Structure 1
Amino acid sequence: MKSIKLALVASGVMFALSGCISNGASENASTNVQSNTTSAKTAIVSELSNEQQLDVLVAQYYNESLTFKPINATYSGRSEFNDKFTPEISSKNRAKKASFYKKYQQRLAFIDKSQLTGQALLSYEILNRDLALKLEGMQFPTYMLPINQMAGSHNTFAGFGSGQSAQPFDTTEDYSNFIKRSEGFVAWLASVQRSMGEGLKQGISLPKPLAKKLQPQFAAHVVKRAEDSLFWGPIKNFPESFTSKQKEKITAQYRSLIMTQLVPAYKSMSDFLANEYIPNSRTTVGYSDLPNGKAWYEYQIKKNTTLSLSADEIHAIGLSEVSRILDEMKKVKQDVGFSGSLAEFFDHLRDSDEFYYNTPQELIAAYENVKQKIDSRVPLLFDIAPKAPYVVKAVEAYRAQSAAGASYAAPAPDGSRPGVFYINTFNLKAQPKFLLETLSIHEAAPGHHFQIALQQEIEGLPDFRKFGGYTVFAEGWALYAESLGKELGLFTDPYMWYGRLADEQLRAMRLVLDTGFHAKGWTRQQGIDYMLANSSMAKSDVIAEVERYIAWPGQALSYKLGEFKIKQLRDYAKKELGDKFDIKAFHTQILIDGALPMPILEEKIKRWVATQ
């Protein structure tokens, strides 16, 4: 970061001053002290350029934000937060967060945007937009829906405690840190229960089918013996450097932690869900059925897509895309010589054993093989690639039933842990062979792994951008990456091409279903029937997808809309540059500054084209 050493000389003073804006500590201060404060601030600001002031501000913004998200700190390699967990859900903590956002809005206003260029200009535009959006979102009672069957800090905590995630277990201090973090988790989980209980009273709850899927995630951790707990993993895998005495002490501590704190906390939450929450949860599924739900969903669209599109516009785009892709699928049916209808072709693809693997091991091995094939061809379209490698792994058993079919986890920033391309082996009939190439492109290279790992490796990128992101950028890029398959020499087999169409169809149907559920009154069954009629997806996979869209309003819109925008920008650059257009250079420009909101990405690409 340019001039950061100079800027940080003043950072401690500026940080202290900025804190006075929001915490009320200056209310009892004398007029003289306030005057001196203003003078000091003016003096400091005058010594720094606008870019240096921004360097200080964004560094402090990220550091302070970690107090609200200690989990993110661990993922980004910041060990000083490894003993802390997500703050309890409370009106006091929500007020703290609002004050935090307002404070940085006020500080940002002192910086002259017209004097910024390059990364500094992007950082200013991103932070300015993000702060306004976060404050806008605080009007909605999201805290009453803190977790769902798809995601939540409860699952992150379990992953950490297993010893197979970002939480380190290399020293005795690491083990002690997790015990302290567990105390924070127990307090947070109690606040989750209180908030969800409050939501029931306000008519704001998860739909009943989702609540039913959530409850087993807690019941799974209610064990009779500590040795049977997921959290016993670090005890099974002590570092060789530990002495017998150290192992004995830590083992006793973990036995007590599991049986006297964690198991009771999980049991309390499991019982609450089973006995109180599920019986009283709502029978409707859309956000439009919640108090102020229409505005809440419109916010979710804006938050997830970064675009100004209405639910009706998105729904219409989805219907058009579903129809187009169905026509492409009919061509594949003809190419492979299938004489029945398209619906019969879907049934054939769902039911024929030839399209599925017999064991989880075979499935994982197939993805490891296609990984080598794709990795060798990526340089055809890219001049850049992440230094960090990635591996293929099965989704852990404790979350497999509710997890997506595939997902990606970023590598450790220091290179100590590779990126992970997760494949869900829970239901082999939800993992057809024809998805091999397209799914690997999406989740790994040149999809999520390229974009996310590269973002972490960009020199000088502020941490709030290095470890932040936008669903529409990440998922839009991954779906766009799938569209590069033929240019990479893939999809030569008609069934593999069908796999690409099937994946694209999934994203097109999401536009229809997400808006259908949350803006048009669609039922869960209506969504299931629509997906089964327009794809060859397994029914179990369809149900998981439908319940995902119900749980995450707006998130599923990001894929197709993000892909559209990136393709639109590619077409624009190609038209403007003509023979000078270089696809490798274009891809570098999309990826080299990390994830950006789509309007900011568009302006950036247009500036780049103008310089060519």
Structure 2
Amino acid sequence: MYHVTRSTIAEKLSRRLAMTAAALVISALSVPGWAAPSDGERFREIYQKEWEFRMAEFPLWASGNGIDEHAAELGHVAEADQKRRYEYWRRIRTELDSISCERLERAECINYRLFVKQIDDFLAAYETRAYLIPFNSDWGFYMEWGRLPADTDFTSLADYRNYLSRLSQIGPVMDEYIELMRTGIEIGMTQPRVILDGRDQPIRRQLVERPEQSPFFAPFLNMPETLDNGVRAELLEQAGEVIGQGVVPAYRRLYDFFHGEYVPGARRTLGAYELPGGEAFYAAEIRRYATVDLSPREIHDIGLSEVARIRAEMDAVIEETGFEGEFADFITFLRTDPRFYAKSPRELLATASYYAKKIDGRLPMLFGHLPRQPYGVAPVPDELAEFYTAGRYVGAPLEAHRGGYYWVNTWKLESRPLYAIPALTLHEGAPGHHIQGALAMEQSDQPPFRRNDYISAFGEGWGLYAEKLGVEMDIYETPYEQFGRLTYEMWRACRLVIDTGVHAMGWNREQAQEYLVSRTALSVHEVTTEVDRYISWPAQALSYKLGEYTLWQLRREAEAQLGERFDVRAFHDFILGLGSVTLEILQDEVRSWIEAQG
């Protein structure tokens, strides 16, 4: 007897559908004037529908990119949502396999390669279960929510209603995150226990007795005059209810979970290789951030080579200062002499502002095209400062009608040396991340998935490359500032050694700290926060030096092949005009540019 199963029926239906589709295609081909969609048309259809899906799934990301359609939503993260997205992206990946880059225009082929990388990164994040660790020592979902009051433009009643809607969803989504982390504890997919001390500070800040004390309530304290008194009273009442009954209890649940379950259950191991499927996880993170197919050992060896080269340059600068003593003595001198440290947050910000404007005046030396968007200098917000890095650029979409900001960390001034400010400003402001990001936003001919992307190897590589451009622009005024630049470069070279050492070679935390503290003039506080960042954020730290290393290789190639025809302004304009690309695409495109110049 023939047993008919569901799979048998499905196979029959599948064959019939395939035959019907084939017949429709044959029929269509016989229609005069009909032509099958080109690969370019099909690719555009794929990325347009996926971008709409992505913005709907990640509303905060959409808002950050100036897209307001989902401004009332927070986005869900439960296991079912993770799987649903994964299945969708698998279908997208299958559709992409039917398209050939060889049949696309050159610019569209770049788009295709970048889009494939994004989809592959999404798939890898699910397959390695990276989503079970939704925070690191530097950032986390609960900190991103804490930025909502500052990152939301409150110009209309709709803005307030959308904001309240998002706040009302924090409770349910918080529980989804807690369940993900609980699963992580069960399978050993957690942050290491050693980096968790003090990470509850942003959570504790939200545990207030009255809603009006909550940072989330701040937007309702100065509502615009255009809102009448009745509407204001209604909004105040709703805010008190949503924050008091939803937001604060949600953060309380997270706080209790963090101390009651996560900290006790966190793994005692350190490296990514110790995670379930850790080797595959680390390889995926290297491809995501560094965009290279190098092994940890190969990356480690590049780091060792760069450390040796930079140390020789540092020794030459020490000799220039006339300092008598060993390298370690000079480092101690830099860490302890009061002349190298600001007396107040305002002095540190003033120094950063001075160098920002000095650099602005010399940018035309190395760039032909500059962005129209400005940027400002501001302190790192108090709620982030204790565990935050020395500085960071925080961009804004052009549609937001505001500039970006170069954040300077004014917490613990004795750990923020003034001699490092020129290099930091070049990296985070101009010609580093601000110029890079603002110009990328102006590439209106690029699809949004590319224009709004940030590939760490390209972005951070450019930031480090920009620090050295300060030498050509004569930004560094003293040998100590030159040493500050070399300290920053050494810092990034050490990252190649430390990151791979920790995550693939069994290094412990103390070993990593000693390696960094003995080779740079970074303060002990910075060394501690930085090493914890590398431990909790595998592979991200690799992107800086590998990206900068590639940029200088390409520049030297261009200079050698073009000789007197080499125009550094045209070279920089071309690179920044690409937007954010992988290192492989960067190499392909720059070499094509060199050939065209010749």
Of 79, 104, 116, the match for 2:92: 104
SS, match of residue 406 in structure 2? strand
Corresponding residue for 1:520? 505
Question: For residues 369 and 37 of structure 1, what CA distance do their matches in structure 2 show?
Answer: 68
Q: Tell me if the contact between 2:167 and 2:243 (Cα under 8 Å) persists in the aligned partners.
A: no
Spell out the pairing of 1:18-97 with structure 2 (5 A cutoff). 31=16, 35=20, 39=24, 46=35, 48-90=37-79, 92-97=80-85
Question: For residues 163 and 428 of structure 2, what CA distance do their matches in structure 1 show?
Answer: 30
Percent identity among equivalent residues? 32
Query: One-letter code of the match for 2:56?
Result: T
Task: Summarize deviations over 1:159-192 as a string: whole Å, max 9, x none.
Answer: 01x2x21x22211111111122123332222111
Q: Tell me if the contact between 2:273 and 2:282 (Cα under 8 Å) persists in the aligned partners.
A: yes
Spell out the pairing of 1:360-375 with structure 2 (5 A cutoff). 360-375=345-360
Corresponding residue for 1:455? 440
Q: Tell me if the contact between 2:170 and 2:246 (Cα under 8 Å) persists in the aligned partners.
A: no
Query: One-letter code of the match for 2:62?
Result: A
Evaluate the alpha carbon distance shift between residue 598 and residue 460 of structure 1 in structure 2; reply closer, same or farther with a 3 A threshold. same
Spell out the pairing of 1:61-210 with structure 2 (5 A cutoff). 61-90=50-79, 92-160=80-148, 162=149, 164-165=150-151, 167-210=152-195
Task: Summarize deviations over 1:471-491 as a string: whole Å, max 9, x none.
Answer: 000000111111111111222
Of 394, 401, 413, the match for 2:379: 394
Task: Summarize deviations over 1:115-157 as a string: whole Å, max 9, x none.
Answer: 3223212111212233234324432121221122312222111
Query: One-letter code of the match for 2:527?
Result: V
Evaluate the alpha carbon distance shift between residue 515 and residue 27 of structure 1 in structure 2; reply closer, same or farther with a 3 A threshold. farther
SS, match of residue 349 in structure 2? helix
Q: Does 1:344 align with 2:333?
A: no
Corresponding residue for 1:220? 205
Query: One-letter code of the match for 2:281?
Result: W
Spell out the pairing of 1:499-510 with structure 2 (5 A cutoff). 499-510=484-495
Question: For residues 596 and 513 of structure 1, what CA distance do their matches in structure 2 show?
Answer: 25
Structure 2: give runs of 5+ residues left out of the alignment: 1-9
Corresponding residue for 2:582? 597
Corresponding residue for 2:241? 256
Deviation at 1:313, TM superposition (A): 1.3
Task: Summarize deviations over 1:441-487 as a string: whole Å, max 9, x none.
Answer: 10010100111111111121100001112100000011111111111
Deviation at 1:34, TM superposition (A): 8.6
Question: For residues 34 and 261 of structure 1, what CA distance do their matches in structure 2 show?
Answer: 54
Deviation at 1:325, TM superposition (A): 1.8
Evaluate the alpha carbon distance shift between residue 26 and residue 547 of structure 1 in structure 2; reply closer, same or farther with a 3 A threshold. farther
Task: Summarize deviations over 1:16-36 as a string: whole Å, max 9, x none.
Answer: xxxxxxxxx999899579936
Evaluate the alpha carbon distance shift between residue 361 and residue 492 of structure 1 in structure 2; reply closer, same or farther with a 3 A threshold. closer
Question: For residues 202 and 194 of structure 2, what CA distance do their matches in structure 1 show?
Answer: 14
Q: Tell me if the contact between 1:476 and 1:560 (Cα under 8 Å) persists in the aligned partners.
A: yes
The range that moved more, 332-341 or 560-569, is 332-341
SS, match of residue 407 in structure 2? strand
The range that moved more, 367-376 or 236-245, is 236-245
Q: Does 1:582 align with 2:563?
A: no
Query: One-letter code of the match for 2:280?
Result: A
Spell out the pairing of 1:149-548 with structure 2 (5 A cutoff). 149-160=137-148, 162=149, 164-165=150-151, 167-414=152-399, 416-548=401-533
Evaluate the alpha carbon distance shift between residue 309 and residue 244 of structure 1 in structure 2; reply closer, same or farther with a 3 A threshold. same
SS, match of residue 392 in structure 2? strand
Task: Summarize deviations over 1:284-304 as a string: whole Å, max 9, x none.
Answer: 211122222122212211221
TM-score (norm 1): 0.91
Question: For residues 573 and 446 of structure 1, what CA distance do their matches in structure 2 show?
Answer: 20
The range that moved more, 51-60 or 469-478, is 51-60
Evaluate the alpha carbon distance shift between residue 560 and residue 250 of structure 1 in structure 2; reply closer, same or farther with a 3 A threshold. same
Evaluate the alpha carbon distance shift between residue 394 and residue 117 of structure 1 in structure 2; reply closer, same or farther with a 3 A threshold. same
Q: Tell me if the contact between 1:105 and 1:131 (Cα under 8 Å) persists in the aligned partners.
A: yes
SS, match of residue 388 in structure 2? coil
Corresponding residue for 2:558? 573
Query: One-letter code of the match for 1:291?
Result: P
Question: For residues 549 and 38 of structure 1, what CA distance do their matches in structure 2 show?
Answer: 57
Question: For residues 189 and 251 of structure 1, what CA distance do their matches in structure 2 show?
Answer: 23
Corresponding residue for 1:8? none
SS, match of residue 81 in structure 1? coil
Evaluate the alpha carbon distance shift between residue 231 and residue 393 of structure 1 in structure 2; reply closer, same or farther with a 3 A threshold. same
Question: For residues 17 and 308 of structure 2, what CA distance do their matches in structure 1 show?
Answer: 70
Structure 1: give runs of 5+ residues left out of the alignment: 1-24
Q: Tell me if the contact between 1:88 and 1:187 (Cα under 8 Å) persists in the aligned partners.
A: no
Deviation at 1:326, TM superposition (A): 2.1
Evaluate the alpha carbon distance shift between residue 415 and residue 193 of structure 1 in structure 2; reply closer, same or farther with a 3 A threshold. closer
SS, match of residue 212 in structure 1? coil
Q: Tell me if the contact between 2:125 and 2:131 (Cα under 8 Å) persists in the aligned partners.
A: no
Evaluate the alpha carbon distance shift between residue 26 and residue 479 of structure 1 in structure 2; reply closer, same or farther with a 3 A threshold. farther
Task: Summarize deviations over 1:210-258 as a string: whole Å, max 9, x none.
Answer: 2223222211110012222111110122122111111111011111111
Query: One-letter code of the match for 1:206?
Result: Q
Evaluate the alpha carbon distance shift between residue 32 and residue 281 of structure 1 in structure 2; reply closer, same or farther with a 3 A threshold. closer
Task: Summarize deviations over 1:382-432 as a string: whole Å, max 9, x none.
Answer: 011111100011111111112211111112222511011111111112211
Q: Tell me if the contact between 2:270 and 2:508 (Cα under 8 Å) persists in the aligned partners.
A: yes
Question: For residues 318 and 60 of structure 1, what CA distance do their matches in structure 2 show?
Answer: 41
Task: Summarize deviations over 1:577-610 as a string: whole Å, max 9, x none.
Answer: 2222111111111110211111111111122222
Evaluate the alpha carbon distance shift between residue 226 and residue 137 of structure 1 in structure 2; reply closer, same or farther with a 3 A threshold. closer
Corresponding residue for 2:3? none
The number of residue pairs the alignment matches comes to 584
SS, match of residue 555 in structure 1? coil
Corresponding residue for 1:10? none
Query: One-letter code of the match for 2:86?
Result: A
Evaluate the alpha carbon distance shift between residue 239 and residue 37 of structure 1 in structure 2; reply closer, same or farther with a 3 A threshold. farther
Corresponding residue for 1:11? none
Q: Tell me if the contact between 2:207 and 2:251 (Cα under 8 Å) persists in the aligned partners.
A: yes
Query: One-letter code of the match for 2:66?
Result: G
Evaluate the alpha carbon distance shift between residue 272 and residue 536 of structure 1 in structure 2; reply closer, same or farther with a 3 A threshold. same
